[in-house]
Amino acid sequence: MDLEPGSQNQRRTDVPEVVVARLPQYVRILTRLLQEGAEVVSSQQLGEKLQVTPAQIRKDLSYFGRFGKQGRGYSVYHLLERLKLILGINSFWNVAVVGVGRLGRAILSYPGFTPDGFNIVAAFDANPDVVGETIAGLTVKALDQMDDEVSSKKISIAIVAVPTEHTQGVVDRLVACGVRGVLNYAPISPQVRDGVRVRNIDPVLSLQSMTYYLTDNQVD
């Protein structure tokens, strides 16, 4: 095998966020290469597909050990399996969706989560007109059922798609139930205790940063 694990003393918090954010992109590219029958890939080839330099590829991977051999490249299969293990996506994670409005319904109906290791197993809403409705095979539960559902279904991650004014309260409740990861779609950054990870998804902020590159406005 051409992989050597990194030091057991390497703390996850020592790895820069930007590097962690690139790892799923590596997994996606390697999965595609494996499906195409590729056995070996070079850092040059990975860099071209991800639009980063080969040196950056090597530096990213060096946080987790030694991968590949000089002049031979990387085993697609072994690198893919190692990165899945590092990311924790070599097994399935149970996920809940909180907030079953238009966005929540779209998330529940999206078929792309399960193939990548995420099972949506519960849905919650505060609206009594929505509670009891079946969406994508799941019966929407009331918020006061959250504790029992999170515990019985071993839910570790929640996707939150509720109005801004309710976001912090919902996140607090999820954390109290034992949820350790939150994907938040509200345009605020909820506060959580140490040990809980939050990822904020705000399309408006992404669009606003994109327009920086599209405008010719000069600032005096």
Residue whose token pair is 């506060």: 191
Alpha helices in the chain, H assignment, sequence order: 17-35, 43-50, 54-62, 76-87, 102-109, 146-152, 164-177, 203-214
pLDDT of 4 higher than 60: no
Extract long-range pairs of 6-10: CB within 8 Å, 24+ residues apart: 6/63, 6/64, 6/65, 6/66, 7/65, 10/63, 10/64
Q: What is the mean pLDDT of residues 145-158?
A: 97
Q: What is the pLDDT of residues 35-88, one digit of tens each?
A: 999 999 999 999 999 999 999 999 999 999 888 666 688 999 999 999 999 999
> pLDDT category, 10, cuts 50, 70, 90?
low
Determine contact, residues 150/178, Cβ cutoff 8 Å.
yes
98-122 pLDDT, tens digit each: 999 999 999 999 999 998 899 999 9
Q: What is the pLDDT of residues 82-103, one digit of tens each?
A: 999 999 999 999 999 999 999 9
All structural domains of the chain with their residue ranges = 3-87, 93-205
Pull the structure tokens for residue 123.
Answer: 């849905």
The pTM is what?
Answer: 0.87
Of 215 and 95, more confident: 95
Average pLDDT for the chain: 91
CATH tag for 93-205 (out of 3.10.180.10, 3.40.50.300, 3.40.50.620, 3.40.50.720): 3.40.50.720
Please report the pLDDT score of residue 11 as a whole number.
63
Domain 3-87 falls in which CATH fold?
Arc Repressor Mutant, subunit A (1.10.10)
Residue 72's pLDDT is what?
Answer: 81
